[in-house]
C-alpha cells in the first residue's frame, strides 16, 4: 500500500488541560497541609449532612426506619473513619513519619496537639522515604477549601 493513500495520523499534540488529582482514596504517598484540611472538611461536611438528614428522617418516620437509619449511619461513620485514617496517614508520611503514629491519636490529651501539628507543620522538603514531595495544589483545592469554610461558618451561625 502506498503511504500517500493512507489516512493521516491524528496529531499527537493534545490540548493541555489542568491536571485534577482527587486522590483521597489513595493510601500511599504524601499529603500537604491545604489538601489535608480540604479533604478533612469534605469528609466532615458529607458526614454531617448525612447525619442531619438521618436525624430529620428519624424524627419523621421513627417507627418505620429506625433500624435502617441506625445501620446506615454506622456504615457512613465507618467509611468516614477509614477515609480519615487514610488522609492522616498520608499527612504523617509528609513528615517522613510512619502511619503507625496514628495510634497516638488514642491518647486524648495528645490528639489536639497532633491535629494542630498536622495542620500547621510543613512537610519534609524534597523527597523522603514515602515518595516525592506532595503535588502542588490546583485551583480547585483552594476553591473547595474556601467553599467548605464558608459552609462551615454558615452552619455554625445557625
pLDDT 10s digits, 13-50: 444 444 445 677 778 889 999 999 999 999 999 999 99
Helix (H) or strand (E) holding 149: helix 139-157
Structural domain contains residue 15: no
Count of structural domains, the chain = 1
As a whole number of Å, the end-to-end CA separation of the chain is: 74
Highest mean pLDDT among 39-43, 52-56, 105-109: 39-43
Structural domain contains residue 55: yes
CA distance 30 to 25: 12
Q: Is the pLDDT of residue 115 over 80?
A: yes
Structural domain contains residue 38: yes
- Which pTM was predicted? 0.79
3-class DSSP state of 118: helix
Could you tell me which residues come within 8 angstroms of residue 59 by beta carbon, excluding any fewer than 6 positions away?
none
Structural domain contains residue 1: no
Structural domain contains residue 150: no
Strand partners, 131: 128
Q: Is the pLDDT of residue 148 over 90?
A: yes
Could you tell me which residues come within 8 angstroms of residue 32 by beta carbon, excluding any fewer than 6 positions away?
94, 123, 134, 135, 137
Structural domain contains residue 153: no
For residue 21, the model assigns a pLDDT of 54
DSSP state of 121: S
Q: Is the pLDDT of residue 68 over 80?
A: yes
Q: What is the mean pLDDT of residues 51-77?
A: 85
Structural domain contains residue 36: yes
pLDDT, one tens digit per residue, over 131-147 is 898 888 899 999 999 99
Structural domain contains residue 9: no
Give residue 82's domain range. Answer: 27-134
Amino acid at each position: 500500500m502506498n503511504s500517500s493513500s493512507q489516512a493521516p495520523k491524528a496529531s499527537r499534540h493534545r490540548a493541555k488541560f489542568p491536571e485534577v488529582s482527587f486522590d483521597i482514596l489513595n493510601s500511599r504517598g504524601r499529603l500537604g497541609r491545604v489538601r489535608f484540611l480540604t479533604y478533612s472538611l469534605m469528609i466532615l461536611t458529607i458526614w454531617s449532612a448525612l447525619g442531619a438528614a438521618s436525624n430529620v428522617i428519624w424524627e419523621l418516620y421513627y417507627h418505620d426506619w429506625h433500624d435502617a437509619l441506625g445501620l446506615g449511619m454506622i456504615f457512613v461513620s465507618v467509611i468516614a473513619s477509614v477515609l480519615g485514617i487514610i488522609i492522616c496517614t498520608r499527612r504523617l508520611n509528609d513528615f517522613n513519619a510512619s502511619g503507625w503514629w496514628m495510634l497516638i491519636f488514642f491518647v486524648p490529651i495528645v490528639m489536639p496537639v497532633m491535629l494542630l501539628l498536622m495542620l500547621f507543620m510543613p512537610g519534609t522538603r524534597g523527597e523522603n522515604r514515602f515518595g516525592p514531595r506532595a503535588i502542588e495544589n490546583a485551583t480547585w483545592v483552594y476553591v473547595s477549601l474556601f467553599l467548605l469554610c464558608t459552609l462551615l461558618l454558615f452552619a455554625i451561625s445557625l
